[in-house]
Chain A
Amino acid sequence: MSYRPPDKLKTTVVGSYPYFSEALKAFQLRKKGQRGPEYESLVKEATRRAVEDYINVGLDIIADGEQRREDMAVFFAEELGGFEISDLVRIFDNVYFRKPVIADRITWIHEIVFGDWKYASGISRGRPVKVTLTGPYTMYSWSFDKFYGDPRKAILDLAEALRKEIEALVGAGAAYIQVDEPAFSTRAEKSDLEIAEEAFEIMFEGLDNVKRITHICYGKLERLFPAILDFPIDQIDLETKNSNYKVLDLLREYSFDKELALGVVDVHSSRIEAVDEVIEGILRGLEVVRPDKLYVKPDCGLKRLSREVALAKLENMVKAAKKVREELA
């Protein structure tokens, strides 16, 4: 089945979708080390339901909903070679979490997200399925390092490992590859961004027939400019609704000419943005980039919202994009 996305204002998502009960059951099995057929079929069913929701709400470019990933960093750490998982570390009050630990040289040992992408693509009724990968800089920032002692070496090895996954995906026809780097906006200094740029070069070198995307959210997005403009990427996917589109001024200042995926609904609030409110956001985006270069999507992954709220937000977002598209035509 084929699907032709509109030329202008394509709608999409950042990646994650609220977990279905099957996904929650799968997490429990995974924790017990039970990754057999039952686990796989639970993940599949959760993925199928996420894909159905994304299609039914009318998105142009969908994702697999990340139903296999309870935590975006821990998941990749569990699938890559070289990582362990730490003992408990406090995050606030008396609440603790486990953090990935780099304990050996990082290597790619098997496919990580390929299977879920492939499955989602098979049931997407022709819609492109965007692949989301937790980026090397974020993986490093959110891990303990007891092996390298040198961020650059570790980050570049992470990039090499992810490159293998990307090659497999592109080889199988993946057209949108998104590298999530939320840690960029919390700590990254200039030297960090230089390392990250090298990492992106490793991941995407020679891959021209694919949309190369990075998603960055929250914190201080302004820190990334202008350095991020030199990254070998086609599209920057940003959280903008929550920060009142502040970063758009910077994009204008730097004559931004990449594609922009604009966050037009807030994923930290369960208030449903009205269609007009979303339209207003899209129009602000259009002041900076052309409609064929503007993608419309939520600020970040949807996993913390309820399914009802997520769907309602997406529905208004799709309506808003359609309306603006009609006005443009």
Chain B
Amino acid sequence: MRLLAGICGSFPRPPALRRAFDELEAGRIGEKEFMDILENSTREVVGLQENAGMSVTTSGLLMWHDLLRPFAVKFSGIEPRRLLRFFDNNFYYRCPAIVGRVSWNGPVTMDEVRRVKRYTTRPVKAIIPGPYTFLKLSENLFYESEDLLVDDLIKALRSEADVLGEVADFLQVDEPSLVDPELGRADRMRGIDIVNELLSRVKIPGEKVIVATYFDLDPEKYSLLLELKAGLHVDLKSRVEAAREALMEYGFDGKLLSLGVIDSRSIFPEDPREIVYRLSPILDAASPETLIFSTSSWLDYIPFNEAVRKLDALGRVLAEAEVRFG
């Protein structure tokens, strides 16, 4: 079993970048100056990941206002509009209003992945929202049939996935809606079909693709997720006991599994040794070719300095695990 570590998605914006967004909007700095700060912030966040021992890096999604925003802005036919609560978080996203035919208009986040590549030689993970979550979190004001909207979302996301496949080493497709406690089994099964449809069409091979679910997990949901034709990321922290039970009951015989072992929504100090100790029974049941230790979800829900601590803890989980299971 190959052991890796990498954060699930975003990293909080470094203070300089946070300020730069406001300065840019207020017209106190120009685009050029902003891009310089973004460049520095990317280097900082990639450096933090390398120093903490991450074997897979991400851009920290520093430009993303929420999971859907870069796509809601760049794809045709979509306008980001009112703020809605993002699952059970005290975090809000702008609901994409589907106001026309959805299509891909050129790369959305490729520059961001290239920017990361300038500062690391380690594998880079690119991230896109999955079609099901995109559908569930949007408001359709245009399509007569939801199936047609799904088709176009899949096409647009596939185009993005294909260009990202040329620059990124892993592609993560974020699908928190697949485990949304508000949805029923039939919804979930349809969601899995929709995601599999996307997966069947992308050029990037299945062993490099991770479908990421977070904010919930239990045995029933997990057993359905095993139908996904790709690697899988699961959140072991939002519902600790139910998630453990899921993994222990159903195992994992796919190639790539990412385990969210560090709680990305709490700042309670982590104990890497304890985490690894508690993983033993899970790894007796689930032994993928590649195991990635990760944060349970994006790190957007805690302050920057706390995220740095989480990163450090994640690095120590990998080191402990290498001793124990490597």
Contact = CB atoms under 8 A, between A and B. Distances in A.
Nearest to A186: B88
A91 B18 contact: no
Nearest to A218: B85
Contacts of B306: 86-87, 144
B143 interface: no
Interface string A122-162: 00000000000000000000101110010000000000000
Interface string B288-326: 000000000000111111100000000000000000000
Q: Which 10 A-B pairs have the closest CB atoms?
A: A87-B303, A92-B92, A94-B21, A144-B267, A93-B65, A187-B88, A149-B268, A146-B267, A146-B268, A89-B303
Interface string A76-118: 0000000000111111111010010100000000000000000
A287 to B, nearest CB: 29
Nearest to A89: B303
B193 interface: no
B76 interface: no
Contacts of A89: 12, 301-303
A60 B52 CA distance: 61
A186 B22 CA distance: 30
Interface in B15-54: 18, 21-22, 25
A144 B21 contact: no
25 contacts: A86-B267, A87-B304, A88-B18, A88-B303, A88-B304, A89-B12, A89-B301, A90-B12, A91-B92, A92-B91, A92-B94, A93-B65, A93-B94, A94-B13, A94-B21, A94-B65, A96-B18, A101-B267, A144-B266, A146-B267, A146-B268, A149-B268, A186-B85, A186-B88, A187-B88
- Chain A interface, >50% SS class: strand
A88 B13 CA distance: 10
B83 interface: yes
A87 B305 contact: yes
Given A87-B303, A87-B306, A145 B266 contact: yes
A142 B301 CA distance: 12
Is the interface on chain B under 10, 10 to 19, 20 to 34, or 35 or more residues?
20 to 34
B300 A90 contact: yes
Contact of B268 (A142, A145, A187): A145
Contacts of A144: 266-268, 302, 306
Contacts of B301: 89-90
A149 B268 CA distance: 6
Nearest to A220: B182
B145 interface: no
Nearest to A145: B268
Interface string B153-173: 000000000000000000000
Contacts of A142: 90
A91 B301 CA distance: 8
A187 B216 CA distance: 12
B142 interface: no
A88 B306 CA distance: 10
Nearest to A87: B303
Contacts of A99: 90
B269 A146 contact: yes
Contact of A92 (B18, B66, B269): B66
A93 B305 CA distance: 19
Contacts of A87: 303-306
Given A146-B269, A187-B88, A92 B83 contact: yes
Contacts of A86: 267, 303, 306
Given A89-B302, A89-B303, A144-B266, 6 more contacts: A91-B90, A91-B92, A92-B94, A94-B18, A144-B302, A145-B268
Interface in B60-76: 65-66
A90 B15 CA distance: 12
Interface string A55-93: 000000000000000000000000000000011111111
Nearest to B10: A90
A193 to B, nearest CB: 15
Nearest to A142: B90
B119 interface: no
Contacts of A101: 267
B250 interface: no
B5 to A, nearest CB: 23
A145 B302 CA distance: 11
Contacts of A88: 18, 303-304
Nearest to B182: A220
Interface string B245-264: 00000000000000000000
Contacts of A94: 13, 18, 21-22, 25, 65
Nearest to B65: A93
Contacts of A91: 90-92
Interface in A179-193: 186-187
A186 B84 CA distance: 13
A221 B303 CA distance: 30
B295 to A, nearest CB: 15
A6 B23 CA distance: 56
A90 B268 contact: no
A93 B73 CA distance: 13
**Residue in A96, A144, A186 with the greatest tally of chain B CB atoms within 10 Å:** A144
A86 B265 CA distance: 13
